[in-house]
Amino acid sequence: MGPEGIHRFERVPIPLAKTSAPALTSHLCSLFFGMGQMLLIPDPRPLDRRLGRKFFRQAPRRPGVYLMKDDGDRVLYVGKAKDLKQRLNRYRTANPDRMPRRHLRMVNEVSRIEFQLCPTEAVALKHEKKLIRSLKPKFNRAGVWPGRTRFVVWRVTGDALEISVTETPAADWQRFGPLGGGAAYLQRTLARLLWLAVNGEKTLSEMPAGWWSGEFMETATIKCGATIGKATAAMAGFFWDDPERFIFMLGEKFSHRINPFERRVIETELKCLQEFCAKKKPDETGPQLALL
């Protein structure tokens, strides 16, 4: 093999006079298939060859978005990273034999990579989504087209609180949104924690069948009895007033639970609510998001 991945083939003398027909056939086949194999082996590091190692050494160790472009300046792929240098080195050193064909085609088309630095990974994620929606790159799949919007909705029926997820809220439901695919996870987490808070003497095993696996929860119904007013006020407070206060209130409700397994499960659920609070609230603002 010559420099820059160029294969050089030399004439191999075959002693025809001293070679039997079967041996000659075998020799020619091995030569042919050997050449085919060499031609089919992909360039192990195409990005190294095109961009140079210096490019990867100088890549910033900062959060941001990267745009992979072809030689016609068309954006092939948009991605985000907490550490741009670390992420791009994964593409550079990836094993072609283990790389998905789509990714292999992509790196073989890339002629340059641009960076757009961001202050945090969360900002980079938001910027990545915006670029993917607007540019619709050839090799991006997730996030190219807007997903369905969903609302977390709830209402009081007698002494019970119903919590559900819907794309089009009915007039008699209070709602929060629009949200994406995480709406269902938020609804289930809230329903499970509120059930445990209302039923302080009951264990996890007494929860309605399938709730811990998320089954049978299209509409979760929680019998609240005399505490129904507090439960609905707590829901409104979580979404529109002081979510941290709501989480703290739940933590106090669970302080008597000493079973290690129960405490781990509850802590995990509370962490999910904290992560939701840390994220940006719905993109839209205005009267349409008010409680109805």
In the chain the domains, ranked by start, together with CATH numbers, are 46-135 (3.40.1440.10), 150-289 (no CATH)
Confidence bin at 30 (pLDDT 50/70/90): low
Q: Indicate yes or no: pTM above 0.75.
A: no
DSSP state of 210: T
List, in sequence order, every residue forming a beta bridge with 155; answer none if it has no partner. 162
- Given a contact cutoff of 8 angstroms between Cβ atoms, the answer to whether 207 and 192 are in contact is yes
Distance CA 112, CA 21 (A): 52
- Given a contact cutoff of 8 angstroms between Cβ atoms, the answer to whether 180 and 166 are in contact is no
Distance CA 125, CA 131 (A): 10
Q: Which of 154, 176, 186 minimizes the C-alpha distance to 274? A: 186
Q: Which residue has the higher pLDDT, 96 or 261?
A: 261
Distance CA 243, CA 235 (A): 9
Strands (E), 158-287: 160-166, 174-179, 219-223
Question: Given this model, what pLDDT does residue 58 score?
Answer: 93
Question: Given this model, what pLDDT does residue 11 score?
Answer: 45
Three-class SS state of 175: strand
Distance CA 266, CA 251 (A): 9
Question: Given this model, what pLDDT does residue 275 score?
Answer: 85
Query: Token pair of 211, please?
Result: 């709730």
Helix (H) or strand (E) holding 160: strand 160-166
Does residue 188 have a pLDDT over 90?
yes
DSSP state of 206: G
Distance CA 257, CA 251 (A): 10
Q: Report the range of poorest mean pLDDT among 24-33, 84-93, 242-251, 262-271.
A: 24-33
